[in-house]
Amino acid sequence: MPFRVGVDVGGTFTDLVVAAEGQGLYTTKTLSTPGDESRAVLTALTKAADNFQQPLQTFLADTDVIVLGTTVATNAMIQHVGANLGLIVTKGFRDEIEIRRGIKESMFNVKLEPPFPIVQRRRRLGVTERLNYLGEEITPLDTEETIQAIRRLKEQGVESIGVCFLFSFLNDSHEQEVKRLIQQEFPECYISLSSEVLAQIRDFERVSTTAVNGYIGPRLSRYLGTLRDRLTEMGYQRNLYLMKSSGGVATVEDARRRSVYYLHSGPAAGVIGALSLAARMDQSNIITADMGGTSYDVCLIHQAKPTMTTDTWEERYRVAVPRIEIYSIGAGGGSIGWVDKAGALRVGPRSASSNPGPACYGRGGVEPTVTDANLVLGLLNPDNFAGGEFTVDRSLAEKAIKEYVGDPLGMSVTEAAYSIFRIVNANMSDGIRVVSVQRGYDPRDFSLMAFGGAAAIHAGLQAEDLGIPTVTVPEIAPVFCGFGDLMADLKFTEVRTFQGALSSIDPAGMGRLLDEMAATAHAMLPQEKLLGVRVDRYADLRYHGEVHEITVPLNPRGQGLTSEDITAAEENFHGLHEQLYAYRDMASGVEVVNLQVDVVGQVEKPDLPEHPLGSADASAALKGTRPVCLDAQQGHSDLPIYDGPMLQPGNELAGPCIAEYPTTTIVVYPGQRAHVDRYRSVIIETSHKAWQGI
């Protein structure tokens, strides 16, 4: 029996989804193991093997593919636990990573501290070499000076070296020579070349992206190497794939070499899962909301396409690789409630993560979290938390909330818990506004898809706050990112600089470069059985004089690129610019800056079973009532509690009520109604259902 496995390693939980031929989907969760994330993966796989009544070795031998989403790269940046990094640059440019473009995040804040130095100045060395703006050699690489720089970095204890020379995106010969010298002098060193990581214009973006790759690469590489070795020892003989931040998957070899492309790999999988489910539900405009234990991640999908970007910052370092635009805030179930020096209540961004976890876990956590507040409010069932795999202690949650929030603010425990609840909801609503209102979209034109273990508790309130008419909670919402891993295709991306006024571009020349890029990306496709191969082409366009670009699809209507294709791309650019910035400038010339090619290898995906719709009567799933507080002034009152797995397609629920599943809880708020659809998703209709924007 062949299995397909998707695993999402989060900051608090590791989620696993198994697609078994003819048996639907099996799902499970286990606590993550920070420091050695592979242990949690193997634990989850063991639970899956037990479910199918097989030894782990037999289960892995019968597994066709394992696709992994992970927060290892992201956490290395956030927690500043990356590699000891050295950087070799063109002489005279060692401080570019600090100078940037002369811009800081808060221009008028004279007390703004510099970002954490992922590469210290003494480990940034310049060497003699120079290419001109055409990529022609002006000054040869000084080999002896470069060897001395490598030896000096080795003596300083670096484990990773990044290399970024001026105009190397046009001619990588000097960087390749440095790579050869590093391998000669320091063979165990992790190497990041800007020409391999990000071969495009803008030197600061290249050096920053290359440095981030060198900083997180060794940690991700070790993790993937350890995991692959352990899987091999246990009998797994196929490829191990990793989710990219752009929404495709690629091989472990690519991930170990270009780790920067795998930041936010876990949340990207959730977006891919949402796209797959939305297509089956005939929804094209959705906002995804993924709330786990550590973060709240939102993404806008318009006309069945997620918003993409190359303009992102990670811990105040520029990362210019293509990725799904996901906005993240520290608002998960483990986010800590605290009182600041001014006496204001805050929630997050600090998280209790899985170790020690929320106070109610009884694992040593003493500060109150969102999970603790939800438990005190009665939104969570202490006897059925995480499917009953471990117990939670309400008294510990009450003690933490009283000590850290209630007493300092003169509130009762219930008032303090409700305040934490209200603040985290407001933070999450603001996160949705960032990806919608601030991008020129009206959230009322979208539905909200809520997944992750904690999202369905809060999503109904965000929808009410923003005027969103419906909320979809997938049946496998708690492990939805693992599901997304299985729904993703292979994707390999090439980016090259190709500058000029669009009106004077030679379509044939641009087409030849696109074909060359496609061939390079195609060569990276593994020898797997593919259903087909698709090539997607894009151009970064801007008005003359602008400093930011918009990525626009290039859609050749024939074999080659034509002037008509370029004209269509230009018209598309004007429309996108107007949507984002509220104007189009037809008098200004349009420039092309970079080209991008995605080669997509389409793979077999598990199917979601459909069920016939039955009776609207959900009384068979009603298992009782529980005191729940939805308003601090009114206190706790009894709410109907439904057994989620007992709900059948066609069942309807009237709010306020709660549906409990083994690893998630759905809250239907007053004035809302819900029904179970043919995919066993719960669809919540808010008081804004009359809005006809969808």
**Are 627 and 378 within 8 A, CB to CB?**
yes
Residues 486-503 pLDDT 10s = 999 999 998 899 988 998
The per-residue pLDDT of the chain, averaged, comes to 91
Is residue 625 within 8 A of residue 640, CB to CB? The reply is yes
pLDDT at residue number 154:
96
Q: Are residues 209 and 91 in the same domain?
A: yes
For residue range 657-676, what is the model confidence (pLDDT) as tens digits? Answer: 999 998 899 999 999 999 99
CB 463 within 8 A of CB 448: yes
- The CATH number that applies at residue 128 is 3.40.50
Same domain for 500 and 481: no
The answer to whether residues 297 and 443 belong to one domain is yes
How many CB atoms neighbour CB 534 within 10 A? 11
Residue 324 sits in a domain whose CATH number is 3.30.420.190
Q: Of 190, 221, 252, which one is at a domain's C-terminal end? A: 221
Domain that holds residue 661: 619-685
190, β-bridge pairs? 160
Output phi, psi for 477, to 5 deg. Answer: -50, -40
pLDDT range class, residue 694, cuts 50, 70, 90: very low
Q: In this predicted structure, what is the pLDDT of residue 293?
A: 79
Question: What's the CA gap between 352 and 175, in Å, rounded?
Answer: 43
Give CA–CA dist 156/142, Å, rounded.
21
pTM of the model: 0.88
Check: CB of residue 230 under 8 Å from CB of residue 504: no
Residue 373 has pLDDT above 90, yes or no: yes
Establish if 22 belongs to a structural domain: no
pLDDT at residue 587, rounded to an integer: 85
512 inside domain? yes
Q: Phi, psi at residue 322, to the nearest 5°?
A: -65, 135
* Mean pLDDT, residues 394-402 taken together: 95
Q: Which long-range contacts (CB under 8 A, 24 or more apart) does 225-231 make?
A: 225/256, 226/36, 226/38, 227/37, 227/38, 227/41, 227/68, 228/252, 230/38, 230/42, 231/42, 231/60, 231/66
Confidence of residue 625 (pLDDT cuts 50, 70, 90): very high
What mean pLDDT is predicted for residues 208-213?
Answer: 97
Give the CATH number for residue 520. Answer: 3.30.1490
Q: Are residues 459 and 495 in the same domain?
A: no
Backbone angles phi and psi of 270, in degrees to 5: -60, -40
For the stretch 124-153, pLDDT in tens is 999 999 999 999 999 999 999 999 999 999
Structure tokens at 273: 């899962």
By three-state DSSP, how is residue 87 classified? strand
Assess whether 358 and 475 both reside in one domain. Answer: yes
Q: Where are the alpha helices (DSSP H) in 142-299?
A: 143-155, 173-185, 194-197, 203-233, 252-257, 265-280
Q: 72 lies in a domain?
A: no
pLDDT at 514: 92
Answer yes or no: do 185 and 318 share one domain.
no
Helices (H), 323-454: 370-376, 394-401, 407-409, 413-435
Q: What dihedral angle (degrees, nearest 10) is formed by the CA atoms of 485, 486, 487, 489?
A: 80
Number of domains in the chain: 4
Looking at residue 571, what is its pLDDT? 92
Instruction: Tell whether 60 is covered by a domain.
Output: no
Instruction: Based on the fold, state whether residues 361 and 465 are members of the same structural domain.
Output: yes
Neighbours of 68 (CB within 10 A): 29
For residue 690, pLDDT over 50 is answered with no
Pairing of strands 3-9, 63-70: parallel
- Domain termination residue (choose one: 602, 637, 659): 602
299, 287 contact by CB (below 8 A): yes
Query: CA Rg, the chain, in Å?
Result: 26
Closest CA to 463 of 439, 447, 440, 476: 447
Sign of the Cα pseudo-torsion (374, 628, 631, 478, in order): positive
* Bridge partner list, 9: 14, 70
Q: What percent of the chain has pLDDT over 70?
A: 98
So what's the pLDDT on residue 526? 85
What does the alpha-carbon distance between residue 380 and residue 457 come to, in Å, rounded to a whole number?
9
359 with 499, same domain: the answer is no
pLDDT at position 596 is: 92
Q: Are residues 302 and 443 in the same domain?
A: yes
- Let me know if residue 58 belongs to a domain: no
Q: Select from 445, 472, 488 the last residue of a domain.
A: 488
Predicted pLDDT of residue 386 = 67
Residues 399, 334, single domain; the answer is yes
For the stretch 401-450, pLDDT in tens is 999 999 999 999 999 999 999 999 999 999 999 999 988 899 999 999 99
Q: Is 202 contained in some domain?
A: yes
**Residue-wise pLDDT tens digits, 297-347:** 999 999 998 988 888 888 899 999 989 999 888 888 889 999 999 999 999
Please measure the distance between the N-terminal and C-terminal CA atoms of the chain and give it in whole angstroms.
42
* Residue whose tokens read 């007053």: 670
**Tokens 């939670």, located at residue:** 392
pLDDT per residue as tens digits for the range 226-241: 999 999 999 898 889 9
| Claim to verify: residue 596 and residue 650 sit in the same structural domain | no
The Cα diameter of the chain in Å comes to 81
Burial call 275-301: b when 16+ CB within 10 Å, e when fewer: bbbbeebebbbbbbbbbbbbbbbbbbb
With respect to residue 391, please indicate whether it lies within any of the assigned structural domains: yes
CA–CA distance, 688 with 680 (Å, rounded to integer): 23
Order of strands across the sheet with 85-90?
Answer: 124-127, 85-90, 160-164, 190-193
Residues 566 and 512 in one domain: yes
pLDDT, tens digit (0-9, with 9 covering 90-100), for 62-96: 999 999 998 888 888 888 889 999 999 999 999 99
Helical H segments across 87-172, by residue range: 96-99, 143-155
Which is it for strands 657-661 and 664-668: parallel, antiparallel or unpaired?
antiparallel
The answer on pLDDT for 387 being more than 70 is no
* Residue 402 included in any domain: yes
